[in-house]
Chains A and B, each alone.
Chain A
Amino acid sequence: MTEQILTVSATTEGPVTVLSAAGEIDHDSRQSLEDAAEAALQDGSRSLVLDLGAVAFCDSGGLSLFVDLHKRTTTRGGRLHLASVQPAVTAVLLATNLDRLLPVHATVGEAVAAARPTG
Chain B
Amino acid sequence: MDTRVPATPVLVPAPGLLRAALDAAGEAVLLCTAEDHTIVLVNAAAKALLPGLEPGVTAARSPLAELARAIAEGTSTFTDEYLGRQVLGHRRSLGDDHYGWYLQDITEEIARAQEFQAERDRTLFLAEASRRLSASLHQRRCLRTTVELAAAHLADAAVVVLPARRRQSEWMRLIAGESVEEGMLRENVLGEVPGFEEALGGFPPIPSRWLDASQVPAWLLPEGFGPVGALLVTPLPGNAEPAGALILARRGPDAVFSAEDEMLARIFAARAGAAISAAALYRDQVDTTAILQADLLPPELPQPEGVELIGSYQAAKDALRIGGDFYDVFGPVDDSPETVVALGDVCGKGPEAAVLTGKVRQTLRALRLVNADPAAMLTVLNRALLGSGRQHRFVTLVVAAISRAEHGRVRICLATGGHPAPLLLRADGTVEPVEVSGTLIGVVPHISVGPAMVELAPGELCLMYSDGLTEARGGPSGTEQYGESRLRDALASCAGMPGTAAVERVRQLVSDWVHGGVRDDIAMLAVRAPSRTKLSLMDTGVAPVSPFAIDARRGDRRGRSR
Contacts and interface: CB of A to CB of B under 8 A. Distances in A.
Interface stretch (B225-233, B343-351, B452-460): B343-351
Contacts, number: 51
A27 B438 CA distance: 23
Interface stretch (B9-17, B29-37, B363-371, B417-425): B417-425
A95 B419 contact: yes
A64 B347 contact: yes
B360 to A, nearest CB: 14
A100 B421 CA distance: 18
A96 B439 contact: yes
Contacts of B443: 67, 98, 101
A64 B437 contact: no
A27 B448 contact: no
Interface in B407-458: 418-421, 437-440, 443-444, 447-448
A40 interface: no
Nearest to B444: A101
A63 interface: yes
A82 to B, nearest CB: 15
Interface string B475-512: 00000010000000000000000000000000000000
Q: Helix, strand, loop or mixed for chain A's interface?
A: helix
A96 B396 contact: yes
B156 interface: no
Contact of B439 (A57, A60, A64, A98): A98
A100 B448 CA distance: 10
The SS class assigned to the B binding surface is loop
Q: Say which size band chain B's interface belongs to.
A: 20 to 34
B448 A60 contact: no
A94 B437 contact: yes
Contacts of B467: 59-60
A68 interface: yes
B418 A98 contact: yes
A59 B448 contact: no
B165 interface: no
Nearest to A97: B439
A61 interface: yes
Contacts of A98: 418, 439-440, 443
A64 B393 contact: yes
A88 to B, nearest CB: 9
Interface in B354-391: none
Nearest to A64: B347
A96 B418 contact: yes
Contacts of A61: 347-348
A92 to B, nearest CB: 9
Contacts of A27: 348-349
Contacts of B444: 101
Interface of A: 27, 57, 59-61, 63-64, 67-68, 94-98, 100-101
6 contacts: A57-B481, A63-B347, A67-B443, A95-B437, A96-B396, A97-B437
Interface of B: 345, 347-349, 392-394, 396, 418-421, 437-440, 443-444, 447-448, 467, 471, 481
